[in-house]
Amino acid sequence: MSFPHALRNTIYQLLGRALSVLFGIFALGILTRYLGTEQFGWYTTVMTFLQFFAIIADFGLTLITTQMISEPNAQENHLINNIFTLRLVISIVLFGSACALIWFMPYNNEIKWGVLAASGAIFFISLQNILQGLFQKHLHMEKVALGDVLGRAIIFAGFVVAVLLKMNLMTIFLVHVAANALQFFLLYFFTARYITLHFAWHAPTIKKICTRSWPIAISMVFNLIYLKADTLILSLSHTQTEVGLYGAAYRVIEVLSAIPVMFMGIVLPLLTYHWSANKMEFKSYFQNTFDAMTLMGLPVVVGGIMVATPLMSTFAGAAFAPSGAYLQILLLALLAIFFGALSGHTIVALNKQRVMVWGYVIDAIISFILYLILIPRFGARAAAWITVFSEVFILFMTWYVVWRESHLVPRGKTFAKIIASCTAMGIILYVTRAIPLFVQISAGAGTYIGMIFATKALTPTGVRALFKHTSHAV
Category of 317 on φ-ψ map: left (φ > 0), alpha (ψ -120 to 50) or beta: left
Please provide the average confidence, as pLDDT, over all residues in the chain. 82
Print burial letters for 129-146: b (CB count within 10 Å at least 16), e (below 16): bbbbbbbbbbbbbbbbbb
Provide the pLDDT for residue 345.
Answer: 82
High-pLDDT (> 70) share of the chain, %: 88
Rg (CA), the chain: 22
Q: State the Cα–Cα distance between residues 385 and 381, nearest whole angstrom.
A: 6
Q: Long-range pairs for 327-330 at CB < 8 Å and ≥24 separation?
A: 327/249, 327/252, 327/253, 328/304, 329/381, 329/384, 329/385, 329/387, 329/388, 330/249, 330/250, 330/252, 330/253, 330/384, 330/387, 330/388
Provide the pLDDT for residue 245.
Answer: 92
pLDDT (average), residues 274-290: 77
Q: Which of 29, 3, 17 is nearest to 320 (CA)?
A: 29
With a CB cutoff of 8 Å and minimum separation 6, the contacts of 91 are: 57, 123, 126, 127
pLDDT at 331 over 90: yes
Q: Which residue has the higher pLDDT, 395 or 213?
A: 395
CB 37 within 8 A of CB 48: no
pLDDT at 225 over 50: yes
405: three-class secondary structure by DSSP? helix
Q: State the Cα–Cα distance between residues 61 and 216, nearest whole angstrom.
A: 8
Is the model's pTM score more than 0.85? Answer: no
Q: List pLDDT tens digits, range 172-208.
A: 888 888 888 888 888 888 887 777 777 878 788 788 7
Q: Which of 456, 429, 457, 424 is nearest to 441 (CA)?
A: 429
Q: Which of 78-87, 106-115, 161-170, 354-363 has the highest mean pLDDT?
A: 106-115
Length reported for the chain: 474
Q: Which residue has the higher pLDDT, 220 or 471?
A: 220
Q: State the Cα–Cα distance between residues 292 and 296, nearest whole angstrom.
A: 6
Q: How confident is the model at residue 342 (pLDDT cuts 50, 70, 90)?
A: confident
Provide the pLDDT for residue 46.
Answer: 92
Identity of the amino acid at 113: W
Least trusted range by pLDDT, from 164-173, 304-313, 419-428: 164-173
The CA–CA distances, whole Å, from 448 to 223, 242, 295, 420, 443 equal 34, 35, 10, 9, 9
Domain locations in the chain? 3-473
3-state helix, strand, coil in the chain (%, to 5): 85, 0, 15
Provide the pLDDT for residue 11.
Answer: 66
Provide the pLDDT for residue 72.
Answer: 61
CB 130 within 8 A of CB 84: yes
CB 297 within 8 A of CB 335: yes
Q: State the Cα–Cα distance between residues 423 and 432, nearest whole angstrom.
A: 14
pLDDT (average), residues 337-359: 81
Q: How confident is the model at residue 474 (pLDDT cuts 50, 70, 90)?
A: very low
pLDDT (average), residues 52-80: 73
Provide the pLDDT for residue 470.
Answer: 35
